[in-house]
Chain A
Amino acid sequence: MKDLDTILIIDDELQIRRLLQITLTANGYNTIHSVNGKDGLIDAATQHPSLIILDLGLPDIDGHELLKKLREWYFKPIIVLSVRNLEEDIITALDNGANDYLTKPFRSGELLARIRVAIRSSEKNEEVTLVKAGSFSIDFADHIVRKNEEILKLTSTEFSLLSLFARNQGRVLTHQYILKEIWGYGYIEQTQYLRVFVAQLRKKIEDNPSKPVFIITESGIGYRFGE
């Protein structure tokens, strides 16, 4: 039987740590706790956690700084869990290598889902060739997208965009990141391209484009590809 995944919680609030411990343990994870950034760095290095839940408001080190330090050598998922809900903070955290970002107060169900996605995607090492999501599938090798077994006609940009989303299933991608990946550095401010293509793509792949389930908007941040 596979060992339980260990999750490191770096948070100075006792009540949050307790809540996380109860919730995570009940859902089959081991937890370890650090109450400040310094301990967090040591625990991350010595305990080899499968995932870190990081609070940005720590007593000793600024959360963004800690995130950067961790990312120098820690390559497993980090989920930021913070009361800071400004878009700037979220984008900075994602840019600094956070896999996901949840603001307090959060819903436990949501957190568990994000944890599952993050751990699963970090365990996938081999190059994905086929992604299935609900009623449609993407075959990366053949550049074919099927919906309800029908082949969808996508432009090459649409396909690149969809591939990018699908390879990062469940993960928030910032506007800038997507623009950089698909169009290149020079287009990093051209959000309008992204808006138009996302709207086009939704019309093709979503059952109801006004209630998207695949390409989900993260207000002011970017998009997340739903499962």
Chain B
Amino acid sequence: MKKVYKNSAVRLKNYILPIIVIFITALFCSPLANTQNYHIVSYILLFVVSILATVFGTGPVLLAASLSALVWNYFFIPPHYTFHIDKTEDILMFGMFFLIALVNGVLTTRVRRQEKLAREREERTNILFQLTKELSRSNGIDQVLAVTLQNISNHFATDYFIILQDGQGSLNKYGSLPDKKTLTGDEYNIARWVFKNLKKAGKFSDSLPQTDYTFYLLKGTRLNPGVIAIKQEEFFVEGEELFWDTYTAQISNALEREFLGVLAQKASFLDESDRFYKTLFNSISHEFRIPVATIMGASDTLLSSPNAVNIREALYDEIFKASLRLNRLIENLLNMSRLESGHISVRLDWCDINDLVNKVISDLKNELASFNLKVNIQEDMPLIKIDFGLMEQVLYNLLFNSCEYAPDFSEIRMDVLYVSGEMLIYVSDNGPGFPEHTLQDVFKKFFRVERSKVGGLGLGLSIVKGFVEAHKGSVMVENRNSGGARFTIRIPSADPEFKKLQFED
């Protein structure tokens, strides 16, 4: 099927050159023609034929061998200028010469061809190796394409283009075209045909040959990345097309890898947002249902059993607690949505940290009642520039968390320091801490420690992180060696300049 196409000018040159060389050699040897040393000429000619064999193909070498035999016979073997040979030994000599020239020429050519093939194989292996290496290092469709385009123009034609599919199984009209190249309608149609029929087309092929390009499918295992078209004067010679197929297979693989990567990413993104909403709705409805159930149940009991005076107080208390819990949920959701919308405005103002800490402790006095709270604020703590309301929420959430998880009557510590332009707040408890593998997820939205007995939406700590970062600060968590969690908050704040002012009026 393969149509080998050769340039006739090149072919002719390959035959003419050996003829000229043989005649020049003969001319050069002409002084020996009338001597007894005409045998030497045969050795010289043999030598020249061998040399020619290293440069030219089988045909020219055969021609050179025959020609040199005839030339030797005609000009050098007596009687001169005839093909007639007098002496029997000369006939033998002529026959031997002819044979040796032939064998010599053919053998050398074969060795040379094998050597050439080996060299080509090595070169191709090298090209493939380079390509594979570069492709494996490239990331993203654009980079793969850039590497491919560079590589093809180095090793194949300079006129080629790639049309990629759009990721949904149809061919993109614009693809990756070299500068100044626009796709004609025909070319686009051929590309589409190739993509659809999974066969090569165009020039040097059976299908749609009315174009300058040969179109090959970039074939993948799960999806076909696209079509590559290459423009060549002559078609691939033996072995080259096989190499080209291997070569484009590498490119297809790399492109397919990128396509699949993009698809997988999309899928996982969808999956993640899907999961996110599921978690959101599940936990919201669950978290809201409990206090609502409490309020409904308790108030129903109060309404339907007016005489149960002894339990009335307890039910009122339950209703009140449930409403506080609902309120906390709403606050957290609102804060989260403030953070998510990115519209959080930080109103920085000089604040007395003692005041901040005291406010939080007094807000949490009921929760903290059953703990041993130790607060230690550096003696000469300067005023710190923060948003009081946001930081109050931060400390509230951290302390509230500790109260929820730490065992009753255990110690909860809060230490506040000011060190070189930074306020450091440590909150540590003697609760269970966090499982090591979850430490990096603690601040993620809706993160909950598995099988935790404590309820909640898992928003508290992500709000802490959001608010602290709104102050250009940072928060981290670690497990203490002695058990329990320790949170570290860092808030940058310049030392207030008015510290030097006198405040004794």
Which residues of A pack against B, CB within 8 Å?
87, 105, 155-157, 175, 191-193, 195-200, 209-212, 217, 219-220
Neighbouring A residues of B375 by C-beta, 8 Å: 210
* CB-contact partner of B505 in A157, A191, A198, under 8 A: A157
How far is the CB of A180 from the nearest CB of chain B, in Å?
Answer: 16
Q: How far is the CA of A87 from the CA of B348 in the complex (A)?
A: 12
The count of residues in chain B whose C-beta lies closer than 8 Å to any C-beta of chain A is: 24
A192 touching B383 in the complex, CB below 8 Å, given contacts A157-B505, A219-B392: yes
A195 touching B351 in the complex, CB below 8 Å, given contacts A211-B358, A220-B389: yes
Whether A196 contacts B503 by the Cβ 8 Å rule is yes
Q: How far is the CA of A197 from the CA of B502 in the complex (A)?
A: 11
Q: How far is the CA of A213 from the CA of B323 in the complex (A)?
A: 26
Neighbouring A residues of B498 by C-beta, 8 Å: 192-193
Neighbouring A residues of B505 by C-beta, 8 Å: 155-157
Q: How far is the CA of A191 from the CA of B351 in the complex (A)?
A: 8
Residue pairs across A and B with Cβ atoms less than 8 A apart, 25 shown, are: A105-B327, A155-B504, A157-B505, A191-B350, A192-B383, A193-B498, A195-B351, A195-B355, A196-B352, A196-B503, A197-B503, A198-B352, A199-B352, A199-B354, A200-B503, A209-B354, A210-B358, A210-B375, A211-B362, A217-B355, A219-B359, A219-B388, A219-B389, A220-B387, A220-B392
- Other than A175-B349, A192-B383, give 9 A-B pairs with Cβ distance below 8 A: A87-B347, A191-B350, A191-B351, A192-B496, A195-B352, A198-B355, A210-B354, A217-B359, A219-B389
Neighbouring A residues of B351 by C-beta, 8 Å: 191, 195
Neighbouring B residues of A157 by C-beta, 8 Å: 505
Neighbouring B residues of A209 by C-beta, 8 Å: 354
Q: How far is the CA of A110 from the CA of B352 in the complex (A)?
A: 26
Closest to A196 in B: B503
How far is the CB of A191 from the nearest CB of chain B, in Å?
Answer: 5
| Chain A binding surface, main DSSP class | helix
Q: What per-residue 1/0 map shows which CB atoms of B382-395 lie under 8 Å from chain A? A: 01000111001000
Closest to A158 in B: B505
How far is the CB of A217 from the nearest CB of chain B, in Å?
Answer: 5
Whether A87 contacts B504 by the Cβ 8 Å rule is no
Within 8 A of A (CB), among B148-171: none
How far is the CB of A81 from the nearest CB of chain B, in Å?
Answer: 15
Which residues of B pack against A, CB within 8 Å?
323, 327, 347, 349-352, 354-355, 357-359, 362, 375, 383, 387-389, 392, 496, 498, 503-505
Q: How far is the CA of A107 from the CA of B359 in the complex (A)?
A: 18
Whether B323 contacts A105 by the Cβ 8 Å rule is yes
Closest to A199 in B: B352
Q: Which 7 A-B pairs have the closest CB atoms?
A: A192-B350, A220-B389, A195-B352, A220-B388, A155-B505, A191-B349, A219-B389
How far is the CB of A164 from the nearest CB of chain B, in Å?
Answer: 16
How far is the CB of A183 from the nearest CB of chain B, in Å?
Answer: 11
Neighbouring A residues of B389 by C-beta, 8 Å: 87, 219-220
Neighbouring A residues of B323 by C-beta, 8 Å: 105
Whether A199 contacts B355 by the Cβ 8 Å rule is yes
How far is the CB of B316 from the nearest CB of chain A, in Å?
Answer: 12
Whether A196 contacts B388 by the Cβ 8 Å rule is no
A195 touching B347 in the complex, CB below 8 Å, given contacts A211-B362, A212-B358, A219-B388: no
Neighbouring A residues of B392 by C-beta, 8 Å: 219-220
Q: How far is the CA of A212 from the CA of B356 in the complex (A)?
A: 12
How far is the CB of B101 from the nearest CB of chain A, in Å?
Answer: 104
Neighbouring A residues of B503 by C-beta, 8 Å: 196-197, 200
Neighbouring B residues of A199 by C-beta, 8 Å: 352, 354-355
How far is the CB of B360 from the nearest CB of chain A, in Å?
Answer: 9
How far is the CB of B331 from the nearest CB of chain A, in Å?
Answer: 8
Q: Which of A192, A197, A198 has the most CB of B within 10 A?
A: A192
Neighbouring A residues of B354 by C-beta, 8 Å: 199, 209-210
Closest to B323 in A: A105
Q: How far is the CA of A219 from the CA of B354 in the complex (A)?
A: 13
Q: How far is the CA of A198 from the CA of B323 in the complex (A)?
A: 34
Whether B352 contacts A220 by the Cβ 8 Å rule is no
Neighbouring A residues of B352 by C-beta, 8 Å: 195-196, 198-199
Q: How far is the CA of A156 from the CA of B351 in the complex (A)?
A: 23
Q: Which of A196, A199, A211 has the most CB of B within 10 A?
A: A196
Neighbouring B residues of A191 by C-beta, 8 Å: 349-351
Closest to A210 in B: B358
Neighbouring B residues of A175 by C-beta, 8 Å: 349
How far is the CB of B138 from the nearest CB of chain A, in Å?
Answer: 50
Q: How far is the CA of A193 from the CA of B375 in the complex (A)?
A: 25
Closest to A157 in B: B505
Q: How far is the CA of A87 from the CA of B327 in the complex (A)?
A: 18
A195 touching B383 in the complex, CB below 8 Å, given contacts A217-B355, A220-B388: yes
Neighbouring B residues of A192 by C-beta, 8 Å: 350, 383, 496, 498
Q: How far is the CA of A96 from the CA of B503 in the complex (A)?
A: 32
How far is the CB of A40 from the nearest CB of chain B, in Å?
Answer: 27
How far is the CB of B337 from the nearest CB of chain A, in Å?
Answer: 13
How far is the CB of A214 from the nearest CB of chain B, in Å?
Answer: 13
Q: Which of A193, A199, A210 has the most CB of B within 10 A?
A: A210
Neighbouring B residues of A197 by C-beta, 8 Å: 503
Q: How far is the CA of A175 from the CA of B347 in the complex (A)?
A: 13
Q: How far is the CA of A53 from the CA of B392 in the complex (A)?
A: 28
Q: How far is the CA of A192 from the CA of B382 in the complex (A)?
A: 10
Q: Which of A155, A200, A217 has the most CB of B within 10 A?
A: A217
Q: Which of B327, B350, B496, B504 has the most CB of A within 10 A?
A: B350
* CB-contact partner of B347 in A155, A198, A210, A220, under 8 A: A220
Q: How far is the CA of A193 from the CA of B496 in the complex (A)?
A: 11
